[in-house]
Structure 1
Amino acid sequence: MKVILKVDVKGLGKKEDMVECKDGYARNYLLPRGMAVPATAENLGIMKSKKKAETEKVSRDTEHAKSIADKLSGKTVVIEATAGENGKLFGSITNKDVSDALKQQMNMNVDKKKIIMDDNIKTVGDHKITAKLFTGVDAEFIVSVKVKG
């Protein structure tokens, strides 16, 4: 019997795969537990439309990420913080602070989890930061830390 899997099934296939399995296994195990649906013409059509919608969503998200990356790449974001005489900050600047500064200065919503920093910024000066906006879409920009006041 041909079925379309709704979840990953060990030894059989991954989610949304169309697989051939024994009739009893499908009728007595997969179908009652909601792990699969019969591979009818209607269900195949639904699966194709879901895959098409998913690919459209991925391409739309990729285009959106590329547009943000184009606007952000090479730009400088200025953050003011209090610092001692030797240039060390009182505290540190985190990826959340960088995300907030991007929103304020450039009107860009970049999730703090997408801003990649080796460590929090603890000194005054320019620091190169990478934002991983989407799979394969990165933007490098500079965070310039200035002394407040």
Structure 2
Amino acid sequence: MKVILTHEVSGLGAAGDVVDVKDGYARNFLFRRGLATAWTKGGQAQVDAIAKGRETRAVKSLEEAKSIKGNLESSTVTVTAHAGKEGRLFGAVSTADIAAAVKAAGGPSLDKRKIELPTPIKAVGSHAALVRLHPEVQASLKLDVVAG
């Protein structure tokens, strides 16, 4: 089944790409999460609109992405979450929480969809996250999760 990606999907493509996926994957994962729409003959105008929007939101230059990468990697971001006595969190730290903590710490405004967590953060302590700033630039972000 041909689909048009409306958001970036790891391992599949970026917003505006037309990809061929299995029917079940499209119906049960991509469509339900709003990550893709079905391909139609009139879909080319939609692909163009998505590509134009992606260009305006993307970090414009490679140099800017590298400077943001330097700022992110040189600092540690503190995320406050509700935790029990043993340091286990009630729930998990989401990518939206991380983006808000970076912004509150005086960092750049990050898109929560560009932040990847290798494992869910469910405990107090030091953790790491990956931020995709540009197709060629990825920053490693150090997180310090504290009980609050």
Query: TM-score, normalized by length of structure 2?
Result: 0.57
Q: Give the match's secondary structure for 1:73.
A: helix
Contact 2:77–2:105 (CA<8 Å) still a contact in 1? yes
2:119 alignment counterpart:
119
Change (3 A) 1:59 1:71: closer
Compare CA radii of gyration and give the structure with the larger one: 1
Q: Give ranges in structure 2 of 5+ residues lacking alignment.
A: 1-43, 45-57
Q: Give the match's secondary structure for 1:96.
A: helix
Q: CA deviation at 1:60?
A: 4.1
After TM superposition, the structure 1 = structure 2 runs for residues 1-149 of structure 1, keeping only pairs within 5 Å, are: 60-148=60-148
Q: CA deviation at 1:104?
A: 0.8
Q: Write the deviation string for residues 93-144 of structure 1: whole angstroms up to 9, x where unpaired.
A: 0111000111111231111111111233110000011111111201112110
Amino acid at match of 1:117: L
CA root-mean-square deviation: 2.1
Q: What percent of counterpart residues are identical?
A: 34
Where do 4+ consecutive residues of structure 1 move more than 6 Å?
none
> How many residues end up aligned between the 2 structures?
92
Amino acid at match of 2:96: K
Q: Give ranges in structure 1 of 5+ residues lacking alignment.
A: 1-34, 36-57
Query: TM-score, normalized by length of structure 1?
Result: 0.56
